[in-house]
């Protein structure tokens, strides 16, 4: 979608955005289910969904969708099951992008 002159800056920004969302997931994981801020989680999952779709990370899109739905349904059980997965995948994707930027 963009020329090579913008690619590095864009990848760096995608990494930063994913890292920010990943921190939201990590913070939620540290909290008890009743203390989790569902609107914040939902917003982060929605953001990850759009970002992951844009970079072609379809697995991450799927889990972000599930987290978003669990937040909307206020399904604490589903969230407890999904949060570790999305936190890990988001962090890994951010790290992969960082490695790619560094290697270029």
Partner 1 sequence: MPQSSTISGDGLLLVEDTPSLQMLYATVLRKAGYKPMLASSGAEALTKFAEHRPSVVLLDLMLPDADGLMVMREILALRQETRVIVITANGSVNNAIDATREGAHDFLVKPLGDIRMIGAVASAFAEMHQEVALTVDDISRSDALDRAFMGRSEAMQEVHSRIAAVAGSTAPVFILGESGTGKELCARAVHLKSTRAAQRFVTLNCSAADPEQLEIELFGQAGPKPGRAQSQVQARAGAIAQADGGTLFVQNIQDMSSDLQAAFLRFKQRASFAPVGDSRQIKVDVRLICTASRDPTEDMRAGRLREDLYYRLFVIPITMPPLRERGTDVHLLAQHYLAQIVAEEGKAFSRFHPEVLDLFLHLPWRGNVREMINVLRHAVVLHDGEMVTREMLPPGLAQMDVPTATASGMPEGADPLAGMTMAEIEERAITAAIARHHGSVPRAARELDIAPSTIYRKREQWDKR
**Interface positions with partner 1 (CB under 8 A):** 1-3, 6, 9-10, 13-14, 16-17, 43, 46-47, 49-51, 53-54, 56, 61, 65, 68
CB of residue 3 vs partner 1: minimum separation in angstroms?
7
Which residues does 37 contact at the CB level (< 8 Å), separation at least 6? 28
Question: Which is nearer to partner 1, 34 or 56 (by Cβ)?
Answer: 56
CB-side neighbour CA atoms (13 Å) of 2: 10
CB neighbour burial string for 5-29, b if at least 16 within 10 angstroms, e if fewer: eeeeeebeebbebbbebbebbeebe
CB of residue 30 vs partner 1: minimum separation in angstroms?
22
CB of residue 25 vs partner 1: minimum separation in angstroms?
16
Question: Which is nearer to partner 1, 51 or 79 (by Cβ)?
Answer: 51
């Amino acid at each position: 979608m963009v020329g090579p002159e913008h690619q590095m800056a864009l990848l760096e920004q995608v990494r930063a955005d994913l890292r920010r969302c990943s921190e939201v997931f990590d913070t939620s994981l540290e909290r008890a289910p009743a203390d989790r801020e569902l609107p914040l989680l939902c917003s982060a999952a929605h953001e990850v969904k759009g970002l992951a779709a844009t970079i072609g990370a379809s697995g991450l899109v799927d889990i972000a969708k599930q987290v978003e739905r669990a937040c909307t349904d206020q399904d604490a059980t589903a969230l407890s099951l999904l949060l570790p997965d999305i936190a890990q995948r988001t962090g890994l994707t951010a790290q992969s992008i960082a490695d790619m930027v560094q290697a270029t």
